[in-house]
Amino acid sequence: MLEGLIVKALSGYYYVKPLREGNVVSGEDPSVQCRARGIFKKRGVSPLVGDRVMYSLTENGEGTVEEILPRSSQLIRPPVANVHLAVLLFSVREPDMSLLLLDKFLVHIEHSDLKALICLTKQDLADDSGDSTEEVKRVYEKIGYEVIVTSSLQGVGTEEVKERLAGQISVFSGQSGVGKSSLLNALMPGLSLETSEISMRLGRGRHTTRHVELIELDNGGFVADTPGFSQLDFLELGVEELSSCFREFIPYAENCKFRGCSHTHEPGCQVIQAKEDGDIADSRYKHYVDFFTEMKDKKRRY
């Protein structure tokens, strides 16, 4: 049997790149179109893009996925395995930056136990918003997140982003229309991924990405180019887990007066005190309360 990496899944086929000694064979090497063994379906397991697998070749030049090797991580949405880094792309303008949505993405990333890189795109469109971009950068870097400001048009920050993607599988996610495809085209000239203009009436872009696929970079990295999301829900997250997904809350929450403190109204809450003292950003705390309320409302409805 041979070892490979699933780089695309489409219409029941898995496209597997051969691996040699743990490394993907050069980019020119074509992927092998494979079906998965029926045993996976019986076990309720599906191969995912990003899976390292053992496969065998069939007489017609195709292959069969025989075994899925152990995963280091697994995302439900998008369905990708072995991701190490989540790159969250949010534009400075067109569409305007939504910190509420950024914080919602960060909650999901923290819950998935992934590293996050915040990428502020379209810096070339910044005019009077330049100061707010720096403020966003300051707030999130203080929390401990890595933030890179980019412009695909001007080539700003693209090399820095590319260095962070080397030798690992990363997933690109974020608001629709923020320039995910444009950034990927800037990272790998010649990709020519489809991009779309922003609908000014809706203030968001059309979804140009139809399925999950790993795009191979020339530095050993792979990027999962995934559909843009207009919304996320919290169905896979328990309300009691929410505060731990706001990483700056953790050192204060340990010293709250009451165990199981919700950090919304309790006396002696150190998270609220830290917000009052300016140690936790007002926007982050407000979004925490918004998410907490949303989750409680959903729990009551179900």
Is 263 among the annotated ligand-binding positions?
Answer: yes
For residue 232, being part of any structural domain is answered with no
Decide: 8 and 53 in contact? Cβ < 8 Å. no
pLDDT at 194 over 60: no
Is 161 among the annotated ligand-binding positions?
Answer: no
- Higher pLDDT: 118 or 27? It is 118
Q: Is 95 exposed, middle or buried, given 0-12, 13-18 or 19+ CB atoms closer than 10 A?
A: buried
Residues 158 and 189 in one domain: yes
Decide: 149 and 135 in contact? Cβ < 8 Å. no
What pLDDT sits at residue 228? 44
**How many independent structural domains does the chain possess?**
3
Share the mean pLDDT of the chain.
83
Is 123 among the annotated ligand-binding positions?
Answer: yes
Is 112 among the annotated ligand-binding positions?
Answer: no
**CA 214-89-104 angle, 5° bins:** 105
Is 178 among the annotated ligand-binding positions?
Answer: yes
pLDDT at 61 over 60: yes
Calpha distance 129→90 (Å, rounded): 14
> Average of pLDDT values for 186-214?
53
Nearest to 81 by CA among 116, 117, 112: 112
> In the chain, what percentage of residues exceed pLDDT 90?
46
Q: How confident is the model at residue 60 (pLDDT cuts 50, 70, 90)?
A: confident
**Residue 247, domain CATH:** 1.10.40.50
Is 245 among the annotated ligand-binding positions?
Answer: no
**Residue 40, domain CATH:** 2.40.50.140
Residues 294 and 199 in one domain: no
> Average of pLDDT values for 145-168?
88
Decide: 194 and 208 in contact? Cβ < 8 Å. yes
- CB count within 10 Å of CB 256 equals 21
Is 91 among the annotated ligand-binding positions?
Answer: no
Q: Per this entry, what is the length of the chain? A: 302
Residues 115 and 84 in one domain: yes
- CB count within 10 Å of CB 170 equals 25
Instruction: Residue 128: give the domain boundaries.
Output: 80-225
> Average of pLDDT values for 153-169?
88
Sign of CA dihedral 216, 51, 36, 12: negative
pTM: 0.82
What pLDDT sits at residue 238? 83
Is 176 among the annotated ligand-binding positions?
Answer: yes
Nearest to 228 by CA among 75, 37, 48, 77: 77
Calpha distance 71→53 (Å, rounded): 10
- Higher pLDDT: 66 or 152? It is 66
pLDDT at 250 over 50: yes
Given 35, 70, 105, the domain boundary residue is 70
Is 124 among the annotated ligand-binding positions?
Answer: yes
Q: What is the pLDDT of residues 71-104, one digit of tens each?
A: 998 887 778 899 999 999 888 777 678 899 999 9
Nearest to 147 by CA among 188, 198, 195, 102: 102
- Higher pLDDT: 191 or 100? It is 100
pLDDT at 205 over 50: no
